[in-house]
Structure 1
Amino acid sequence: MASVHTLTTWRYSPSNDDFEPKSADRKLGSKEVLIKTTHSGLCYTDVHAKSKGCGLGHEGIGHIAEIGSEVTTHKVGDRVGWGWLHHSCGNCASCMAGYRQYCADARGFAHGELDQGAFGDYAIWDEAFVYAIPGSVSSVSAGPLMCGGSTVYEALDVAGTKPSESVGVVGIGGLGHMAVLFAKAMGCAVTAFSGRETKKDDAFQLGADFFRTTSTPNTVWRNPKSLTAASIRSGTDEGINTLLICSNEVPSLEPLLPLLARQATIIPLTIQRTPLVVPFMPFILPGHRIVASIEASRQNHIAMLQFAARNNIQPWVEKFPMNSEGLKGAFRKLETGEMRFRGVLVKEP
């Protein structure tokens, strides 16, 4: 008989503008694992989902406390993590090709019965959507990698980005700062774009070779600590090959298109409800393309964690206790743009 567990997760209550714990009973399925949560990253998707009343958090890290009778990929005691996606059909063309995030039956964070959230004591997930964390990656660093890190890694892979190419990152925040870290570790020349010139020093410390503002993109600052002949050439003369848009909304593309190399790839990684406006001829004539990319495939999620371990990629984080006060403080900093750059909730002993 499947064991039943009481799972408690934190949810936002609009009526009193506070975060409250809510418990529910869940059976452990034969192919599922019970995870005792220790950490969770805070993503801006949590802000979008806050008013739904669901269990929040989808960058969870913890240790497996129990496994179902048919689990083969994990064992009790393993340190694992999970991200946004928790279910797909497993049989459609997208699933069979490894891109289960595009399955028509895909379900993830804040979806129906799968809304447990990572801000809580325990979580139950299908073993196929849980990932082993390499020993050299701390749990604090691993949290933001489970959604933000996997998202930018997938986008760079989908674009076919090569180490010899130039990558542009629009928005130096929770997602964008990880895009800079990954692109630099891949050997690319990186141009960071921000709406605020005050992000320049952070961008350079992250390893960006160049910095531009989205309001005056023709003005470029060069990072004196990372200049090489190759990076100057690819960053200024040949143009940007891959442009990742990691800001909270897509900025005007018109002033950015002249900075791109011919046949560049633009990948929007933001969530917005308004239409995407594309200047037609400046986009068509150079042969640019816009590619949709969301959650990582399982293969790329695993590859991302291995890459982060080999290259010692450590997201910039601020830690908060996983309680009502900690959640309020973390959400306040995230929603006001004060977070540098990813919040991590830590479960109290």
Structure 2
Amino acid sequence: MSIPEKFDAVGVIDYDKWLEPKRFQHTPKALRDNDVDIEVEACGICGSDIHGANGDWGRPYAPLAVGHEIVGKVARVGPKVTKLKVGDRVGVGAQCDSCGDCIRCNKGIENHCRKEVGTYLSYYKDDNTPTQGGYANYVRLNSTFAFKIPDALSSVVAAPLLCGGITGFLPLLTAGVTKGTKVGVSGIGGIGHMTILFAKAMGAEVTAISRNNKKKALAEKLGADNYIATDEEGFDEGYTDLDVIVNTGSSFTEGSFKKLLNLIRPHGRMIFITAPPNDESLELEPGALLASAVSIEGSHIGSPKEIEYMLDFAAKHDIKPWIETIDISEENVSTAWQRMTDGDVQFRFVLTGYDKFFK
């Protein structure tokens, strides 16, 4: 297979016109010994794509192709790649590189490497090459961060698991969720709905949490045992002993966060996985923490080993995110981004049709 010197992509040319993505070409980083080239066949649209495309997280460079829920076939391997071969079906998440030699990488927590490189909106540390994501015909990255997809998972089902799935799965793993654990999931969206699916597969008693009752029926279809609308008076009656809450919502306003803390048992855990826009921060009263004895933690994607374990777990337990497929094109990407901004998707778009669009 002949790999082009430049990769074709769809992305943001002008951040002020982010809903008008265009096709462009970019030159990837020079192939290193441990790199792989992947021909993309599907890519989930994550909420991070919206933040990246509209400039919420800065405007470091353009053009920019987002997308870090990538599934495709290995098209080329570097001379020192041993775990993958040409033709393997693999997935790529939100990380494409790390230093590989620090204490964190050596302990198998590469996702916390201080030189972590994101799949897009980032730069390689050695030569400052900007990274480009999976709204493209090919991606090139460190093979450590490309994972074989189990045969039981279709490409469109596997794609959202590579970021949204592991992001919701890891807090459950960290908290030791098992049969009978009382898990709250705050925010019933792309990541939240997958977190519910994983928690139920682990045997947990799951309480879905949202501001109002609009998503109650959806939460029940996902398998939630209980539902809380935090804007309702007396919402916390009978639900104040959750072992852990995974907060997948983007708002960290003091009032909403306090409401969630009141639902957790003493010595329980609040684990948040989202990064809100730059102008919003989390404020806490020490007294409230002392009184509740609740731990507040952050969780960041997952290590390669954790992602591989998550994929195997999803295959074994038939975890299937709720998706809507849409063929990649400038117009369709714009439509999908606008619909996501409007909350008009249940619960994840997956881009397909790469072979036709990029032929």
* Corresponding residue number in structure 1 for 2:246: 244
| Whole-angstrom distance in 2 between the partners of 1:22 and 1:115 | 14
* Corresponding residue number in structure 1 for 2:113: 103
2:343 matches 1:341: no
Q: Equivalent residues in 2 for 1:1-349 (5 A)? A: 5-14=5-14, 17-26=19-28, 27-50=30-53, 51=55, 52=59, 53=62, 54-108=64-118, 109-112=120-123, 113-216=129-232, 218-219=234-235, 236=238, 239-251=241-253, 252-272=256-276, 273=278, 274-348=280-354, 349=356
Unaligned stretches of 5+ residues in structure 2: 124-128
SS of aligned partner of 1:175: helix
Unaligned stretches of 5+ residues in structure 1: 221-234
| Whole-angstrom distance in 1 between the partners of 2:100 and 2:51 | 28
| Whole-angstrom distance in 2 between the partners of 1:70 and 1:91 | 16
CA contact (8 A) 2:97 2:141 kept: no
Give the partner amino acid of 1:284.
Answer: L
Which shows bigger deviation, 282-291 or 262-271?
282-291
SS of aligned partner of 1:197: coil
| Whole-angstrom distance in 2 between the partners of 1:123 and 1:178 | 26
| Whole-angstrom distance in 1 between the partners of 2:308 and 2:76 | 22
Shift of 1:213: 1.0
Q: Count residues in correspondence.
A: 334
Deviations 1:107-143 (A, max 9, x none): 1121032422100111111110100000010111111
Shift of 1:284: 1.8
* Corresponding residue number in structure 1 for 2:126: none
Instruction: Give the share of equivalent positions with the same residue, in percent.
Output: 32
Task: State the TM-score, normalized to the length of structure 1.
Answer: 0.90
Which shows bigger deviation, 265-274 or 278-287?
278-287
User: RMSD value over aligned CA atoms?
Assistant: 2.0
| Whole-angstrom distance in 2 between the partners of 1:157 and 1:115 | 29
Give the partner amino acid of 1:266.
Answer: M
| Whole-angstrom distance in 2 between the partners of 1:217 and 1:333 | 31
CA 1:125/1:217 → structure 2, altered by over 3 Å: closer, same or farther?
farther
Shift of 1:49: 0.9
| Whole-angstrom distance in 2 between the partners of 1:257 and 1:47 | 28
Shift of 1:11: 1.1
SS of aligned partner of 2:334: helix
The list of structure 1 runs, each at least 4 consecutive aligned residues, that deviate by more than 4 angstroms after superposition, is 235-238
Which shows bigger deviation, 261-270 or 276-285?
276-285
Shift of 1:179: 0.6
